[in-house]
Structure 1
Amino acid sequence: MEGIDNEIPPIKQNFKHNFQSLRVADKLETRCTDYLGINLTFATREGILKHTKVKNEDGYYQYLDLDLTDMHLELPFSITLEGQVVAIADEIAQCTHDLEDGVRSGVINFKALRDQSLVSRCMEAYQIRVDKGTIAPAYETRSLIIKNLVGYLIYDVCKQSEKNISQYLKERDMQNEMVFEEQCVFFSDSIEQLVKQLKKWMDDRIIYSEEVSISDSKAQYLIKQLFKAFYVHPKQLPDYMLEKYFKLKGRSFNRAEMNDEELKKDAMFIRMVADHIGGMTDQFASRTYKKLYFPDYI
């Protein structure tokens, strides 16, 4: 994040939801007083991290206090089959949910959707019929197409991955450790190309649409203002977040003894502000913004 305004210097930290999810599991979510986090296995932690990309255009995302030992960040896939399944499942869910949301909101024309190669191939495979004159199909019809598209993609992944895994096991001795040094769970070549085409088509019509661009801009503004409020005036943070911060620092929490200027210089505190905002729902973030910036009598 770069500096939000003159009150906040440039902050050389990133935010990425897979890294943040691992941080929640390791540092923020607690079940006992003996240790921070929920003590997950390495395979589970690695699967959480690797379910999506770990690099941006500048290199790896920066999360200074995360334990990434043996995570093999140089590999763009999980080293367990379970982790690879999670990643492809996330891709299928995101793709099909975006489609359904796009049609439901009217951003995507249903006829144009049916003309997409992957969708038309799926409809043909499952013999899905829609009245040619239908412009705005019933919810049941739309859901039937999306549901079967999910199944169609899952079937392709299973069929292709079974071949990949069999070949991988033939070439290696996997008696001792089930660590996969190659990606084995993915679409067949033909479906992979159709998925890429569909994603590009959706990006043009949804991700870069006027409606989504306006929403993105509002969200960026709101998040920056929340961050600014908590960074400039740390005592506006709730007790439960400040208690987590001081516990991570190995210190007792006392509001009266807090040194705001000292906190602003601490990378761990800056990350804790991001933790608080990152855990907000849309509605809670909106209410918090109003609480921080609007007078009570409005």
Structure 2
Amino acid sequence: MALAPYACHAADSRGRRHAEAPAPTRSDYQRDRDRIVHSSAFRRLVYKTQVFLNHEGDLFRTRLTHSLEVAQLARSVARSLHLNEDLVEAIALAHDLGHTPFGHAGQDALNTCMQDHGGFEHNLQSLRVVDRLELRYPQFAGLNLTYETREGILKHCSRSNAELLEVQEPGGVASRFLLRQQPSLEAQLANLADEIAYNAHDIDDGVRSGLITQEQLAEVPLFARYRSEALDEFPGLDAPATERRLLYEAIRRMLSAQVYDVIAATQQAIADAAPGDVDAVRRAGPLVAFGPDMRVRSQTLKRFLFDNLYRHPQVVETTDRAQVVVRELFDAYLAAPHAMKPAYAARAAAAPPGHGARVVADFIAGMTDRFAAAEHERLTGRRLLP
């Protein structure tokens, strides 16, 4: 497929931080994707929470299955927009590598622990993983990914952290936050595909868990429209024996409608902005987006999920205990760095005064749910999670 002139072309990449000879059979972005898939951090995503903790059921999404769904959605849209599918896939697969155990609850707890040490941002942590923490190559730390993949991974960044990164890497991936510019279209697309994917699969997981019902969802305009369409075409699908099929069909139609909406709205935005190349994309405003109506309906769905699923008392009760696990692990390792795995204990011992907390945060952020729970029990003698 011929790429659009405003797409990221691997041959025109800004390159890697450490120069490498090109691969004979793969583009640089394909190589990035392969390095991400083979990383330890990627494998650990299978035991990291999306909404429901790992012990709560085998069929609930994890960070790994979520990342795969984001990659699939993003590739589909990229092909229609003549963007670089390999790059958008690499970004999608890597976007959650820095996420803590226990989902957003773990992230919030670790950020609280790190308030006097620069805070904790999971997007910045994902960049740390691919730039520093993966240790697989003799020539350099990290995965040595291309600028464009790293740019997409760092989809959010506070100004203070952007300034620190800019000092370390002038004109690098953080400069756009200081210049108020956009990332590539591939990065914008991976970001929006993330939102589309988690709205859809959280509906599925929420109904599967019994915490929300299809009857409640029938009051949410975005879902209700496609559920109604499915029932019009397949009367009786809401019978108890087939209501799970009705849910899948409504979600499938909702996903398709969102994808087609993004394609149409983005094509129009690109036509209006008329960017001639990737640099022109970065100087333009956001170009990958929903149309106005779909944006409103998507936001309404997000509010519903926040109020009825993410803040459901059963979810909150579990995530509150998960936050205690993270906070007490942080305190324990800060007081006794030797309790961490040897490589991290050695890093903490070698860290300048006051910098040991970042090593502790790196260690905790890399944990799976079950390892964090087991470590907490080992260190405290208390079992807060199954």
Scaled to the shorter chain, the TM-score interval is: 0.7 to 0.9
Q: Is the 8 A contact 2:117 2:357 kept in 1?
A: no
Distance 1:96 1:285 in 2: 28
- 1:237 and 2:324 matched: no
Aligned to 1:152: 257
Q: Is the 8 A contact 2:270 2:287 kept in 1?
A: yes
Q: CA separation of 1:237/1:194 partners in 2, compared to 1, >3 Å: closer, same or farther?
A: same
Q: Any unmatched runs of 5+ in structure 1?
A: 247-257
Matches within 5 A, 1:106-185: 106-124=210-228, 129=234, 131=236, 134=239, 138-169=243-274, 172-174=275-277, 179-185=282-288
Report the CA distance between 1:145 and its aligned residue: 2.0
Find out whether 1:266 has 2:371 as its counterpart: no
The Cα of 1:227 is off from its aligned counterpart by 0.7
| Residue among 279, 290, 295 paired with 2:377 | 290
**Which residue type is aligned with residue 206 of structure 1?**
L
**CA distance in 2: counterparts of 1:131 and 1:273, whole angstroms:** 55
TM-score with structure 2 length normalisation?
A: 0.62
Partner of 2:4: none
After TM superposition, the structure 1 stretch with the greater mean CA deviation from structure 2, 100-109 or 85-94, is 100-109
Q: Deviations over 1:215-269 (max 9, x none)?
A: 22111100011111111001111113245x37xxxxxxxxxxx48xxx58332x2
CA distance in 2, matches of 1:144, 1:132: 10
2:324 is matched with 221
Q: Report deviation, 1:11.
A: 2.2
Residue in structure 2 matched with residue 253 of structure 1 by the alignment? none
Deviation at 1:146, TM superposition (A): 1.9
TM-fit CA distance, 1:64 = 5.3
**Partner of residue 276, structure 1:** 363
SS in 1 for 2:117: coil
* Percentage of pairs with the same residue: 28
- Between the aligned partners of 2:184 and 2:142, the Cα distance in structure 1 is 22
Moved more, 220-229 or 27-36: 27-36
Higher helix share: 2
Partner of 2:17: none
Deviations 1:43-73 (A, max 9, x none): 11110111xx434xxx656895685635311
Matching of residues 58-69 of structure 1 within 5 Å? 67=168, 69=172
- C-alpha deviations, 1:181-226, integer Å up to 9, x for none? 3211000000000111111111111122101211221111000111
Q: Which structure exhibits the higher relative contact order, with contacts defined as CA atoms closer than 8 Å and separated by 6 or more residues?
A: 2
Report how many residues are paired: 268
- List per-residue Cα deviations over 1:122-164 (Å, max 9, x = no partner): 3456655463864685433322222322222111101111111
Q: Flag the 1:10–1:148 CA change in 2: closer, same or farther, 3 A.
A: closer
Equivalent-residue separation in structure 2 for 1:77 and 1:129 (angstroms):
47
Change (3 A) 1:176 1:143: closer
> Which position in structure 2 is the counterpart of 1:187?
290
Cα distance in 2 for partners of 1:63, 1:175 equals: 23
CA distance in 2, matches of 1:75, 1:136: 56
Within 1, Cα distance between the matches of 2:280 and 2:297? 35
Is the 1:22–1:45 Cα contact (8 Å) retained in structure 2?
Answer: yes
| Whole-Å separation in 2 of the counterparts to 1:40 and 1:13 | 25
What is the SS of the residue equivalent to 2:116?
A: coil
User: For the residues of structure 2 that align with 1:44 and 1:2, how far apart are their CA atoms?
Assistant: 25
Aligned to 1:82: 186
Closer, same or farther: CA 175–158 of 1 in aligned 2, 3 Å:
closer
Structure 2, unmatched stretches of 5+, are 1-109
The one-letter amino acid of 2:268's match is: K
In 1, Cα distance between equivalents of 2:269 and 2:292: 12
Computed over aligned residues only, the root mean square deviation of the Cα atoms, in angstroms, reads 3.1
TM-score, L = length of structure 1: 0.78
Deviation at 1:96, TM superposition (A): 1.1
Determine which structure has more spread, i.e. the larger CA radius of gyration.
1
Query: Deviation at 1:120?
Result: 2.2
